[in-house]
Amino acid sequence: MKIVVACDSYKGCMYSKEVAQHIENGILKQNPHHEVWKYTIADGGEGTVSAFCDTCGGQLIEVSTVDAYMKKIKAQYTLIDQGQTAVMEAANIIGLNMYPREKRAPLFACSYGLGVVLLDAVKRGVKKVIIGLGGTATNDGGMGMLMALGVRFFDENHKPLPAQALSLEKIHYIDFNRMHKMNVELIAACDVANHLLGEQGATHVFGKQKGLYPNQIKKIERGMENYRFQLQRYLKVDINTFEGGGAAGGIGAILIGMLHAKMVPGIKLLLGYSNLEEKVAHCDLVITGEGQTDKQTKFGKVPVGILTVANRYHKPTICISGALGLGYQDLYELGFIGLFSISDRAMTFQQALDNAPAKLEAATFAIINTIDKIKHF
């Protein structure tokens, strides 16, 4: 068989390239005569830079910046299209998984570091910047990113405010005079359609997973409302009107509403640079997967993006994921012929992470063995 393997990363466990390699190992252990075509895939979150670099033969650029808590780090983005396009991801600059759960402090996290990397790319003379917005630790509405671009925020006493979620409700004055001019095409790679505010907005939907408590969510939502009001007062733009504005703790709203970025699903962007569709057209089986497959997967996640391509060519597609969550059965209606979890017994979360590579190879071996045996009946 000719098999296309195109999976998202298993968040906090394995990158997309590693997932594909372990799946290939499982396939070839069962039958070394199968031909495997592997692809590094991402949807705008963790691994986006690596995926574009591998797919396009990009050049990695290292830049000094700061993480979500203003600690100095080195981050990477990639140049593609002969250096005319930069691809960066928020997840490797201000990412949620850069700190263990017990050390996350979303009230103080900010997006300043992403703005630093964006400026570095612009100063290199690129014509386009693709920014992957998934997996951020921040909920500052892009305030930090704006400060890195030269915007200054002040409280009612004209004292400068630090870039953090706690500052949002204190903003009374904004100075745009030193804001850097962004003469580039901006693309926000994201699968989120949420607006900035409300019950389906950035804070209410994503705040808990970033570490906000219920009483803090209400407080930061009030801050976001003030932030939106102050920006509208100065710029005559309502940043709550845009689909995707709730991405990355509100960074999406700033990119779309202020910097005129276009929001595009990350998987759609990447596939536009890849020959994956051509390979799918000539394969016998497609394998995709992600860390956890559940009812959210159908809303633009990698497995459904890959399935959409496979369905065009009537290719059987299976999904092998770290876990299967609530509502995963609904995905059978989209066309998957099989949805599998690599977990084979009860274990702690840490044990699941530690054993994932071996479990993935074993699950793949079993699945391919079943397919091969059925074909011989």
pLDDT for the residue 93 = 98
Type of residue at 75: A
Residue 259 has a CB neighbour count (10 Å cut-off) of: 18
CA proximity to 254, closest of 168, 300, 176, 196:
196
Residue 191: the pLDDT is 80
Q: Report how far residue 28's alpha carbon sits from residue 5's, in angstroms, rounded to the nearest whole number.
A: 13
Torsions phi, psi for 311 (to 5 deg): -65, -30
Read off the tokens for 33.
Answer: 């005569």
**Domains with residue ranges and CATH for the chain:** 2-41+275-375 (3.40.50.10350), 48-264 (3.90.1510.10)
Q: Amino acid letter at 176?
A: F
- β-strands 152-154, 173-175: how paired? antiparallel
3-state secondary structure of 52: helix
| CA–CA distances in Å: residue 225 to residues 160, 169, 257 | 20, 8, 15
pLDDT tens for the chain, 377 residues long, are 999 999 998 887 898 999 999 999 999 999 999 999 999 998 888 889 999 999 999 999 999 999 999 999 999 999 999 999 999 999 999 999 899 888 999 999 999 999 999 999 999 999 999 999 988 999 999 999 999 999 999 999 999 999 999 999 999 999 999 999 889 999 999 888 899 999 999 999 999 989 999 999 999 999 999 999 999 999 999 999 999 999 999 999 999 999 999 999 888 899 989 999 999 999 999 999 999 999 888 877 899 999 999 999 999 999 999 999 999 999 999 999 999 999 877 667 777 677 789 999 999 999 999 999 887 77
Where are the strands (E) in the chain, listed by range?
2-7, 35-40, 59-66, 72-80, 85-89, 128-132, 152-154, 173-175, 185-189, 262-264, 285-288, 292-293, 317-321, 323-324, 338-341
Dist. CA 38–CA 281, nearest whole Å: 15
Q: Three-class SS string for 94-116?
A: CEHHHCCHHHCCCCCCCCHHHHH
* Nearest one of 113, 234, 219 to 163, comparing CA atoms: 113
**321 contacts 364 by C-beta, under 8 angstroms:** no
Name the strand (E) or helix (H) holding 208.
helix 202-210
* Amino acid identity, position 250: G
Burial state string for 123-135 with b = 16 or more CB within 10 A and e = fewer than 16? eeebeebbbbbbb
CA dihedral sign of residues 134, 231, 228, 112: positive
Q: How far apart are CA 23 and CA 363, in angstroms?
A: 9
The predicted pLDDT at position 345 comes to 74
Q: Classify the C-alpha dihedral 194-307-38-21 as positive or negative.
A: positive
Q: How far is CA 210 from CA 114, 164, 220, 248, in A?
A: 17, 14, 13, 10
- pLDDT number for residue 352: 67
| Phi/psi at 275 (5° precision) | -100, 20
